[in-house]
């Protein structure tokens, strides 16, 4: 119900409160991101040797997107591989065989000396021979025993040394091989190349991104919510999203993640949402705005927000100022819980 009068050359408009659906929501601004979107960094510094993709290409997980020049690392890998081959047990088979032969000869000599010593002891027991001959035979036996022990120790030490060298050089070759892979840059997911930030022949380093990759079909909305409103936000809440690229249209989404750490600079929290039904064409980094719906009342007594004065007061048509109790509020209207009826007429001068 609207009526208009004219007084003192000032146009005044009268309205009455009406029952309408009202929604309480929290405003958030944000950006459209491809799901799992990430910046590609190189693990090593190097010149870009080859580019195998271009912007807009679809890639699969593990697909090579570029390679870096790696001549020095290739030489290092070859050296490590050759050293591993040289240090292997197979390459040192002759050394092991020689040490084993020396040990076996020493064992035979020890057995022979043990037999001669035993014979000399039996003769001495029969009072045949001299004590000096027995002592000499004992000395020869002990020398043979020491020689056998030394040859056995030498063989075992050589085995351990060669085994250690083999393992160490194989590990060095494996590390060098892995380092070779650092010069091959691959996609970490099935998706789309959204941006190539370096060209062939340019230097790639560990500090600067060289590409941006993300999901080709699925998108999320990264929102920033003010710290004063974050306590109202929960997973599963519905939101309405608007974008400059789709003027006059609103798309429904749902909150699926509230990040618990506040950004101290912006005094805001990050909230992720997904489209219930996304627009046909979306691109990463599109700007977006959203209203996260906190509460909906299907039938509420409401007035336009611009009729509500400071201190939650309104002007009646007789210019009497009265206090009201408000409830839900959106951009256009505010719920009146008490203080007015739908029969009251409100006044607001239009400048």
In angstroms, what CA-CA distances link 74 with 45, 141, 173, 181?
15, 57, 11, 10
CATH number at residue 275: 2.40.30.170
Q: Which of 160, 181, 202 is the last residue of a domain?
A: 181
pLDDT grade for 333, boundaries at 50, 70 and 90 = confident
| Rounded-to-integer distance, Cα 203 and Cα 198, Å | 8
| Rounded-to-integer distance, Cα 21 and Cα 18, Å | 10
Do residues 95 and 86 lie in contact, with contact meaning Cβ atoms separated by under 8 Å?
no
Tens digits of per-residue pLDDT, 88-138? 555 567 777 888 888 888 889 889 988 988 888 888 888 888 888 888 988
Tens digits of per-residue pLDDT, 53-84? 999 999 999 999 998 886 555 545 566 556 55
| Whether residue 57 is found in the same domain as residue 162 | no
Q: Mean pLDDT: which of 12-16, 150-154, 255-259, 309-313 is highest? A: 255-259
| Whether residue 99 is found in the same domain as residue 136 | yes
In this structure, the number of other CB atoms found within 10 A of the CB of residue 319 comes to 9
The pTM score is: 0.57
Nearest Cα neighbor of 190 from 284, 66, 59 is 59
Conformation bin of residue 36: beta by default, left when phi > 0, alpha when psi is -120 to 50:
left
Per the DSSP assignment, residues forming a β-bridge with 228 are none
Parallel/antiparallel/unpaired status of strands 18-34 and 219-226: antiparallel
| Whether residue 51 is found in the same domain as residue 80 | no
| Whether residue 163 is found in the same domain as residue 22 | no
Q: Mean pLDDT: which of 169-178, 218-227, 333-342 is highest? A: 218-227
Token pair belonging to 230:
């974050």
What's the domain range around 312? 2-35+218-349
Tens digits of per-residue pLDDT, 312-324? 888 888 888 889 9
* Cα 11 from chain centre: 62
Tens digits of per-residue pLDDT, 207-242? 999 999 999 989 999 999 999 999 999 999 999 999
| Whether residue 147 is found in the same domain as residue 205 | no
In angstroms, what CA-CA distances link 288 with 31, 40, 132, 140, 223?
5, 25, 108, 97, 8
């Amino acid at each position: 119900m609207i009526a208009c009068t004219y007084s003192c050359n000032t146009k005044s408009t009268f309205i009455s409160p009406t029952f309408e659906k009202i929604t309480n929501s929290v405003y958030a601004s944000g950006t459209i991101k491809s799901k799992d979107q990430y910046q590609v960094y190189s693990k090593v510094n190097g010149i870009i040797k080859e580019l195998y993709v271009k912007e807009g290409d679809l890639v699969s997980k593990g697909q090579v997107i570029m390679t870096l020049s790696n001549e020095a690392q290739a030489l290092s890998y070859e050296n490590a591989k050759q050293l591993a081959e040289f240090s292997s047990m197979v390459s040192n088979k002759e050394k092991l065989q020689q040490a084993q032969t020396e040990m076996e000869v020493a064992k035979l000599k020890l057995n022979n000396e043990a037999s001669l010593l035993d014979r000399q002891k039996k003769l001495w027991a029969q009072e045949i021979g001299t004590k000096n001959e027995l002592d000499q035979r004992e000395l020869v036996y002990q020398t043979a025993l020491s020689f056998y022990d030394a040859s056995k120790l030498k063989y075992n030490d050589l085995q351990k040394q060669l085994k250690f060298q083999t393992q160490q050089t194989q590990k060095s070759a494996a590390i060098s091989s892995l380092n070779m892979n650092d010069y091959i840059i691959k996609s970490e997911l099935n998706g789309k190349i959204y941006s190539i930030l370096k060209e062939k022949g340019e230097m790639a380093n560990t500090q600067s991104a060289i590409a941006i990759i993300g999901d080709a079909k699925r998108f999320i909305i990264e929102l920033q919510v003010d710290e004063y409103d974050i306590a109202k936000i929960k997973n599963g809440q519905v939101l309405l999203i608007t974008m400059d690229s789709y003027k006059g249209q609103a798309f429904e989404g749902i909150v699926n993640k509230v990040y618990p750490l506040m950004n101290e600079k912006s005094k805001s929290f990050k909230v992720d949402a997904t489209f219930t039904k996304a627009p046909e064409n979306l691109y990463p980094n599109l700007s977006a705005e959203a209203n996260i719906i906190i509460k909906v009342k299907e039938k509420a007594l409401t007035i336009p927000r611009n009729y509500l004065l400071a201190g939650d007061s309104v002007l009646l048509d007789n210019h009497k100022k009265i206090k009201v109790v408000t409830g839900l509020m959106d951009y256009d209207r505010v719920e009146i819980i008490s203080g007015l009826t739908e029969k009251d007429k409100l006044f607001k001068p239009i400048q």
